Structure 1
Amino acid sequence: MSGHGAPQLTIENAQDLRVAVIAAQWHTQVMDGLLAGAQRALKELGITEPTIVRVPGTFELPVAAKQLADRGYDAVVALGVVIRGGTPHFDYVCQAATVGLTQVSVSTGVPIGFGVLTCDTEQQALDRAGLPDSAEDKGHEAVTAAVATAATLRAVAGPGR
């Protein structure tokens, strides 16, 4: 399973971080699981008032992430799913989302939690969605990674952040 070897992150004093979660709407069952996992992670970290934004699909995640990063959020989490079909659409959307979210993060300095599932089958997506029968919880992992990075960046920035 792809989650093998994942680090156990210790994140302290993250309660005051401003975090936004953007979730696509395609593939409702998978997205509901990803969003629930993200919200569970935020609660565990003591982040009680995250901003939750829904966009139509994965392709729209980068533009929403850019707007939120520019509005002072300490971390943004992007959740989506693209399932391979019979056309090149899969490749275009996956590349656009990946490159777009990377550009947002690098250009703004705001960590973007990458919770975009790029799967060959719906079952692969369900296995990663954080549902009761899922092997992995990528929504939870995306929040943890983004918040851990935001906390690290705050620590290296020093007092007065």
Structure 2
Amino acid sequence: MSGHGAPVVTVDGSGLRVAVVAASWHEQVMDGLVDGALRGLADAGVQSPLVVRVPGTVELSVACARLAPRYDALVALGVVIRGGTPHFDYVCQGVTVGLTQVSVTTGVPVGFGVLTCDTDEQAIARAGLPGSVEDKGHEAATAAVATAVTLRDLDAAAAGR
């Protein structure tokens, strides 16, 4: 079962600048993911996050790369549904590598909220909608904020504060 064993993370992200970058395909799923991310950020005390919409999941990486220098954390949200062509594999691999590269090269955490599902039903089950069993938008936002706080604390410890 997906989500089994997930940690419960509570974090204070007050004062952090966070942007949410979301794809536009699969509107119902994406609206659920964005709403979940915004709830997660509010739960962490993040105020006034920027929300940016891009056409599709492939475009998440370049938008995150552009935003990274101005933000403490980013949340990338998208959904890719398997079809009858290898497109699914290329998109999933490309966005995973791209977002990882953004995070590692900039030092800005990117919460990975990209659903890679076989069916629309699987995506809906993870989108944080009424009746969904998981809220991956909330999870991605919480992970991004928790990592930003950890990195901030590491920097402060290294500086001897």
TM-score band, normalised by shorter chain: over 0.9
Structure-1 separation of matches of 2:16 and 2:100: 21
Q: C-alpha displacement at 1:108, in angstroms?
A: 0.3
Inter-partner Cα distance in structure 1 for 2:45 and 2:142:
12
What is the alpha-carbon distance in structure 1 between the residues aligned to residue 54 and residue 65 of structure 2?
13
Unaligned runs of 5+ in 2: none
Where does residue 41 of structure 2 map in the other structure?
A: 42
Structure 1: 4+ residue segments shifted above 4 A: none
- Give the alignment's TM-score, normalised by structure 1: 0.96
Q: CA deviation at 1:43?
A: 1.1
Deviation at residue 46 of structure 1 after TM alignment:
1.4
Aligned residue number for residue 125 of structure 1: 123
- 8 Å Cα contact 2:10/2:44 also seen in 1: no
Give the whole-Å Cα distance in 1 for the aligned partners of 2:46 and 2:103. Answer: 21
Aligned to 2:11: 11
* Deviation of the 1:18 alpha carbon: 0.4
Quote the offset at 1:15 in angstroms: 1.2
Which residue, 119, 134, 149 being the options, matches 2:147? 149
Q: Which amino acid aligns with 1:50?
A: P
Equivalent position SS for 2:115: strand
For 1:8 and 1:31, how far apart are their aligned partners in 2?
Answer: 23
Aligned to 2:88: 90
Same amino acid, percent of matched pairs: 70
Q: Could you tell me which runs of 5 or more consecutive residues in structure 1 were left unpaired when the two chains were aligned.
A: none
Deviation at 1:10, TM superposition (A): 2.6
Aligned to 1:134: 132
What count of residue pairs does the alignment treat as equivalent?
159
Question: What code does the residue aligned with 2:118 have?
Answer: D
In structure 2, the residue corresponding to 1:158 is in which secondary structure? helix
> Is the contact made by 2:74 and 2:108 (CA closer than 8 Å) also made in structure 1?
yes
Q: Is the 8 A contact 2:15 2:47 kept in 1?
A: no
Instruction: Report the alpha carbon displacement of residue 9 of structure 1 after superposing the two structures with TM.
Output: 1.5
Distance 2:21 2:99 in 1: 12
User: More displaced, 21-30 or 42-51?
Assistant: 42-51
Higher mean C-alpha deviation, range 131-140 or range 3-12:
3-12
2:8 aligned with 1:24: no
| Structure 2: distance between partners of 1:64 and 1:20 | 10
Shift of 1:8: 1.4
For residues 64-119 of structure 1, give each alpha carbon's deviation from its aligned partner in whole angstroms, at most 9, with x where no partner exists. Answer: 0000102x200000000000000011011111100000000000000000000000
What SS class does the counterpart of residue 74 from structure 2 fall into? strand
Q: Which residue of 2 aligns with 1:55?
A: 54
Whole-angstrom distance in 2 between the partners of 1:15 and 1:24: 26
Corresponding residue for residue 67 of structure 1: 66
